[in-house]
Structure 1
């Protein structure tokens, strides 16, 4: 019974229920949406968003934000695609992409922790610098002619339907979830986001944890960039533009609080499937995909407002409980006298 209660109290359950309800409603309007082939195409198309959401979850859990991940994806994709096109090995291209993610993550982390720049300002500035760097690096041109064997990676399937990319992302998400929920250092991120002062008092390296969160976010964005290259087959100077908003919305939709300290990467992954499905849902409902960004923005606003109200209600409930406990203690102390 306790296990059942814990399951239904989990914040990501509401996200899963929303996903299922959305699929069923769209399926009722257009039964073709619920065909097995289309469902797998929908899930396989969410791998880039899942990677980005899982990465930025580290930052949000620690109480900060990172709006540079879309640009990080774009630069990582451009660098790796150029190297692959020019004949470099896969190992060198992957290492270069990850290095880009690490460098951007370190810059963000140092700016936020050492120089005390508000995370939204720091990462917004880095986003502009990195986005400009993409144009300089590519001379404003598309990076094309990526080797076919690398592009074919995204099409390789397990048992004919599930791509190896999606399978790998599922396994990676599960491993990250276990690290964040079961290991001592993994719990640091949520502890820092929940109460910075308390985390400092018990010896958690707050600044180091936040820097690690930004580095992790950068690495995951870089990996998403590699998957982007394989899936799309070319890179434009605007690659990844707007992806940060969908990743943040996916995290919040999946139950991760923007104030930090609450949520799981499982929820972020479920939210990513929802966000990546919107454009496909619109097609099956016979709406223009031009509404994609509008719906994403509306969802983000509604979710953030709802999360804020929930957090305020929980804080008020906790305050009343503390006051009630104090009152009972005082009454008890007075009766003993």
Structure 2
């Protein structure tokens, strides 16, 4: 029973419950929304956001934020797309995309850890830089006429399930196990929870903050490759505004903006919810221009709720520490317990 209560009390469980209720409510309006085909389609559409949310979780756990992921996605997609269009191999395109994400992530980490620039300002500036670099690289043109073989990768099924879905789920599980159960994986949350305490314990804080930004950059590049395969072309504003959706998804999934709390599982469920909202509007026949308004409202609600939950947790922790001190004082030093 205590284990059941522990599971129910987790933020991830509440997010999963919200997802189920959301599907049931929309399904009550239009039963086609609950079809296996639509659920599978929603999962495929959310892959890109899930990969981005995984990378964002690493950064948020350390108490920072990465606004540059949309720019990294667009630039890596444009570069890998031109490589494929001009006859390059898939392996070359993947390696180059990953290197772009890792390099930009390293620059972000350097600015935050060594130059003491706010992560919001540093990554926001990098977002603008990557956008300009993409336009210069593509000469302001869309990247089109990609090989059909690469576009078909996102359509391959294995045992009736999309292959990319299986790969992303496998990566998600491995990442969750690393963050939740490995000693070094828990460093990220420890840094966001109490950076001074982490330094006192000998955790290499600077190094792991850099790792977080590099992982976020690599995840953005991998999301760019998924984007290329699913969409089949890259516009000059590919990935624009996607960072807000990803941040909202992560926080909706229980990742705290204050750092130290959250999991990639919850962030991924949040990503599915955020992408399902768009398809839900189609099924309930709500005009598409409401998408941004609904997403923006949900983001505000999520951030406010996160702040209230964080404040409540801090008050509870202070109360527990106070009670512990009071009880310690009430017990005489020479007391004998039988």
Pick the TM interval, shorter chain: over 0.9
Shift of 1:335: 9.5
Aligned: 1:268 with 2:279: no
Question: 1:248-327, aligned counterparts within 5 Å?
Answer: 248-327=247-326
Shift of 1:334: 8.6
Shift of 1:332: 2.4
Q: What CA distance in whole angstroms lies between the structure 2 residues aligned with 1:216 and 1:289?
A: 33
Could you tell me which residue of structure 1 aligns to residue 238 of structure 2?
A: 239
Question: 1:187-198, aligned counterparts within 5 Å?
Answer: 187-198=186-197
Q: What CA distance in whole angstroms lies between the structure 2 residues aligned with 1:92 and 1:335?
A: 72
Aligned-pair Cα RMSD in Å: 1.1
Q: What CA distance in whole angstroms lies between the structure 2 residues aligned with 1:228 and 1:85?
A: 15
Q: What CA distance in whole angstroms lies between the structure 2 residues aligned with 1:167 and 1:114?
A: 38
Q: What CA distance in whole angstroms lies between the structure 1 residues aligned with 2:277 and 2:61?
A: 25
CA displacement, residues 50-90 of structure 1 (integer Å, 9 cap, x when unaligned): 00000110000111000000110000000000000000011
Shift of 1:278: 1.1
List alignment gaps of at least 5 residues for structure 1.
none
Q: What CA distance in whole angstroms lies between the structure 1 residues aligned with 2:305 and 2:101?
A: 32
Q: What CA distance in whole angstroms lies between the structure 2 residues aligned with 1:227 and 1:34?
A: 25
User: Using a 3 Å threshold, how does the CA distance of structure 1 residues 286 and 179 change in structure 2: closer, same or farther?
Assistant: same
Q: What CA distance in whole angstroms lies between the structure 2 residues aligned with 1:93 and 1:322?
A: 54
3-state SS in 1 of match to 2:331: helix
Could you tell me which residue of structure 1 aligns to residue 79 of structure 2?
A: 79
List alignment gaps of at least 5 residues for structure 2.
none
Q: What CA distance in whole angstroms lies between the structure 1 residues aligned with 2:146 and 2:46?
A: 22
Could you tell me which residue of structure 2 aligns to residue 171 of structure 1?
A: 170
CA displacement, residues 91-125 of structure 1 (integer Å, 9 cap, x when unaligned): 11101100110110000000000000000000000
Q: What CA distance in whole angstroms lies between the structure 2 residues aligned with 1:334 and 1:7?
A: 39
Could you tell me which residue of structure 1 aligns to residue 22 of structure 2?
A: 22
TM-score (norm 2): 0.97
